[in-house]
Amino acid sequence: MRTRLWNMGVSAWKEGVKVKSVEHGHLQHKDTIARDVCIIGGGATGTFSAIGLRDRGKSMAIIEQKDRLGGHTLTYQDPTTGGKTKAGLVVIRPSTISQEYFARFNIPLTKFNPPPPPPPPPMPDSTLYVDFSTGKKVNFTPSDPSQAFAAYGEQLEKYPFLDNGFDLPDPIPADLLLPFGDFVKKYNLSAMVMLVSKLGQGLGDLLYQPTLYVIKKFGATALEGFAKGFLVPANGDNSELYVKALAELDDDVLLSSCVLSTRRERDSVKVLVKTPTGQKIIETKTLLVTVPPKLDNLQGFDLDAKETSLFVQFSNSIPNNHCLINVAVDARENLPDLPGIYEITPTGVPNLVNLKYGSPVSMLEKLVERDVMDSLARLRKAGTVYTTPPEIALFSSHTPFELTVPVSAIKNGFYKELNELHGHRNTYYTGSAFQAHDVSLLWEFTDTILDKIMGR
């Protein structure tokens, strides 16, 4: 049987808008929707915001370019076996807000204990270390990361403020601005780097990223989850939350829709939206942006100089029971060059594997697919795996994923200015660019933003 690839990444807000200004006047009154808040994006934070506002007695509308809610959360069901596997968001850190949120929709959660860090030798036969540039197995034995993680945890205790978005002190601690490779060397953390790379995917060239972003991606809450366990829906379907949320929100959600233009005035906001049934105007008091705030995603928004000057700085850079991990034995910390495959892991569904691919810069999907197929061809040619050419069952791009700015911008108060945008021109923001890729932390952060909106 053919192996099918489940090639996943992160949902992007790419199609948003193509024009700078669109006239609103030609639309009829029936095409106008009045709401207290207009939410841009229906991912984890956008959906949470909508439910939170409804529970607070506010009306809202969500504009979502996909035909579903959930953003990074995606459950794939194999058409042959009926087996399910999760993409994007896989586990949830235990927290009061996440448990209450799932309980609101009567979705029971169960504890999930992730596999422990790789043990010292001998390694199980089901784990293969492979150089994907050649397709050949490599003689590689990972170090026991236990002591390194303990030392890393001691460093994280210095930065409790990183759980609260990017509310950074002045001056910013120098270690947070070090390239992560230098931070690793300074505190003798090499033994954990391979695992951090595996679990903190999406950061591009990990060793060259400022330590701030690595800790935000793989910080104290991640270590806590590995020590105490994570939560998952008892039925294994992370998408159920968003199916039920959509059923409740109903007409307040505009799916397969995109913003054409915005007009933000002193006491009101108008948003022109392209929907499957034609253009609509949303008249609102407040705009809540939950998509990554890159200029490419905000075309058509009436950005002022202050907003533009900040957003322009963001950049983003096979057998059923086998796990293939990409290793470069001669490279620094044995991390492979990107773009390339991180790893190939089982999904639990026969003949379906999960392949994760990363790049320091955005890439066309066809180029990613070509590189993936070339890499897999090298594995077959080298005799590392024996399989017929695979098919792609699902391709999901997570671009843009991690938004970063240069160290010089961080030093000069970028995040202080970014946080000051909340409430500027009747607009608020949430999402990983303002917090972290941890859905529990995101929901906690978003809850504080909703309180600010309610207090206007």
Read off the pLDDT band of 174 (50, 70, 90).
Answer: very high
pLDDT at 17: 32
pLDDT at 8: 37
Who wins on pLDDT, 199 or 219? 219
Q: How many CA atoms lie within 13 A of 448 on its CB side?
A: 13
> Which CATH number applies to 15-77+86-92+100-107+234-314+403-454?
3.50.50.60
- The whole-number average pLDDT for the span 177-191 is 94
Does 14 score more than 80 pLDDT? no
- The whole-number average pLDDT for the span 29-42 is 91
pLDDT at 242: 95
Who wins on pLDDT, 388 or 424? 424
pLDDT at 3: 43
Read off the pLDDT band of 455 (50, 70, 90).
Answer: confident
pTM, to two decimals: 0.75
Who wins on pLDDT, 348 or 420? 420
What is the chain's percent helix, strand, coil content, to nearest 5?
A: 35, 25, 45
327-362 tens-digit pLDDT: 665 666 667 677 777 777 766 666 677 777 777 767
109-168 tens-digit pLDDT: 998 755 444 444 444 456 777 776 676 777 777 788 889 999 999 999 999 999 889 999
245-296 tens-digit pLDDT: 999 999 999 999 999 999 999 899 999 999 999 999 999 999 999 999 988 8
Cα separation of 81 and 371, whole Å? 29
pLDDT at 19: 35
The crossing angle, in degrees rounded to 10, of helices 439-454 and 96-104 is: 80
Considering only CA atoms, give the Rg of the chain.
22
Does 399 score more than 70 pLDDT? no
- The whole-number average pLDDT for the span 304-313 is 94
Who wins on pLDDT, 216 or 6? 216
Q: Is the peptide bond before 114 cis (omega within 30 degrees of 0)?
A: no
Contact between 159 and 153 (Cβ < 8 Å) = no
Please, which residues bridge with residue 352 across strands? 4
